[in-house]
């Protein structure tokens, strides 16, 4: 049986890796833009958690499909609180970070969604790392237990919020919360169901060429796999770019919690598919299989993939492979740092990163800023910056 490790495997990059000098300028602009946009949003719409913009303006109380994003604003505030230029700004962001985290604490018991990792790892985990306050760790453990409570033994997976017979690739970005809770409490049942979920996902959502399906459907009575489908991609047999990013990032994270090399292999297979598909156009469309996509970009997928590739670069043993992933991560961040994508602090556009997509079929947040795109972009910048020496390492 796969054991859960007492601590996460560290991300260790090759010692001679050099980050493109252009990265420093992009990082500076990214933080300046994020500080301006997040400050403006939290002043203009206090306590609101918008998911996407319309015409560049945050949509407050708009249609959401599912509540999965309430950690990404607090997560940005935590990052800003550690790096704002002056002490007054740092204090202001810190107070807001605590406030926006506390606003979602009641969600630890929300067993109607599959996304508690998105909510709590981006907020309470950052808060706990800074303070070591055990009460904050209790929140993480409670959310991890709720995540695991969704497990269906018949089928061996935690279902998506949509239906009990539906499994999403997105859950790979959340399942580590259950592994974390298992490591903190020594609860082997938690570990067992979380690992089984990952094995089921690996078997039924990751294809032979390394592409990820968005959704798998199961027979509820027997647990038998029925078909691969999609909600946000172009077609059931398509390759939804954000799902690919969730796969390569999520399987890498699960490897860090378990040391199980099957998950590292899956992270690499999905990362290799990403690298191959983005060799020329670093920012993908919403789905690579869509013929002549009307919009060429889904920037939030690129932002998440950059962070996931950077993490993977610090997990693989082969230095050559590590350089490929690290180089691709940095080049992706540089592409997103182009003014075409990265908003200017002073312009009217209210988000950080332009040209993201939430849900094409529902026409929600299409070619707009999306809250998770802004968060994962800053997360990637933060991780690379720690390595590049501008910030203390993990």
Binding site for ligand GLY (CB under 6 A): 68, 170, 232, 242
Q: Measured from the CB atom, is 165 or 170 closer to ligand GLY? A: 170
To ligand GLY, the closest distance from the beta carbon of 392 in angstroms equals: 31
To ligand GLY, the closest distance from the beta carbon of 246 in angstroms equals: 7
Q: Measured from the CB atom, is 139 or 364 closer to ligand GLY? A: 364
Q: Measured from the CB atom, is 2 or 286 closer to ligand GLY? A: 286
Q: Measured from the CB atom, is 75 or 314 closer to ligand GLY? A: 75
Q: Measured from the CB atom, is 160 or 200 closer to ligand GLY? A: 160
Q: Measured from the CB atom, is 170 or 260 closer to ligand GLY? A: 170
To ligand GLY, the closest distance from the beta carbon of 170 in angstroms equals: 5
Torsion of CA 30, 36, 37, 42, to 10 degrees: 140
Q: CA 175, CA 191: separation in Å to the nearest integer?
A: 10
To ligand GLY, the closest distance from the beta carbon of 106 in angstroms equals: 21
To ligand GLY, the closest distance from the beta carbon of 66 in angstroms equals: 7
Q: What's the N-to-C CA distance of the chain in angstroms?
A: 29
227 - beta bridge partners?
Answer: 217
To ligand GLY, the closest distance from the beta carbon of 188 in angstroms equals: 30
To ligand GLY, the closest distance from the beta carbon of 363 in angstroms equals: 14
To ligand GLY, the closest distance from the beta carbon of 283 in angstroms equals: 16
Q: Measured from the CB atom, is 242 or 354 closer to ligand GLY? A: 242
Q: Measured from the CB atom, is 31 or 375 closer to ligand GLY? A: 375
């Amino acid at each position: 049986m796969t054991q859960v490790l007492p601590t996460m495997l560290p991300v260790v990059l090759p010692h001679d890796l050099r980050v493109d000098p252009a990265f420093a300028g992009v990082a500076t602009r990214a933080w300046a833009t994020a500080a301006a946009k997040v400050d403006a949003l939290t002043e203009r719409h206090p306590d609101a958690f918008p998911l996407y913009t319309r015409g560049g303006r945050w949509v407050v109380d708009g249609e959401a499909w599912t509540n999965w994003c309430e950690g990404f604003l607090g997560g940005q505030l935590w990052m800003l609180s550690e790096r704002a230029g002056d002490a007054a700004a740092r204090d202001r962001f810190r107070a807001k970070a605590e406030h926006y985290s506390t606003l979602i604490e009641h969600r630890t018991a929300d067993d109607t969604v599959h996304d508690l990792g998105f909510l709590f790892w981006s907020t309470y985990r950052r808060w706990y790392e800074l303070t070591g306050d055990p009460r904050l760790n209790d929140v993480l453990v409670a959310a991890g237990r709720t995540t695991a409570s969704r497990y269906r033994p018949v089928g061996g997976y935690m279902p998506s919020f949509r239906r009990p017979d539906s499994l999403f690739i997105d859950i790979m970005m959340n399942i580590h919360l259950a592994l974390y809770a298992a490591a903190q409490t020594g609860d082997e049942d938690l570990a067992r169901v979380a690992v089984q979920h990952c094995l089921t996902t690996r078997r039924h959502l990751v294809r032979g060429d390394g592409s990820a399906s968005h959704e798998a459907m199961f027979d509820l009575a027997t647990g038998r796999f029925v078909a691969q489908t999609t909600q946000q991609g172009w077609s059931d047999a398509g390759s939804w770019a954000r799902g690919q990013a969730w796969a390569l990032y999520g399987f890498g994270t699960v490897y860090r919690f378990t040391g199980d090399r099957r998950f590292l292999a899956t992270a690499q297979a999905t990362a290799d598919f990403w690298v191959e598909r983005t060799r020329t156009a670093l920012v993908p469309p919403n789905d690579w299989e869509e013929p002549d996509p009307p919009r060429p970009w889904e920037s939030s997928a690129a932002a998440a993939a950059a962070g996931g590739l950077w993490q993977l670069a610090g997990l693989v043993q082969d230095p050559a492979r590590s350089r490929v992933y690290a180089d691709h991560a940095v080049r992706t961040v540089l592409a997103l740092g182009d003014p075409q994508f990265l908003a200017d602090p002073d312009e009217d556009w209210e988000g950080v990163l332009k040209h993201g997509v939430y849900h094409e079929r529902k026409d929600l947040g299409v070619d707009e800023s999306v809250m998770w795109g802004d968060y994962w972009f800053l997360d990637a910048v933060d991780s690379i910056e720690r390595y590049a020496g501008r910030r203390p390492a993990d």
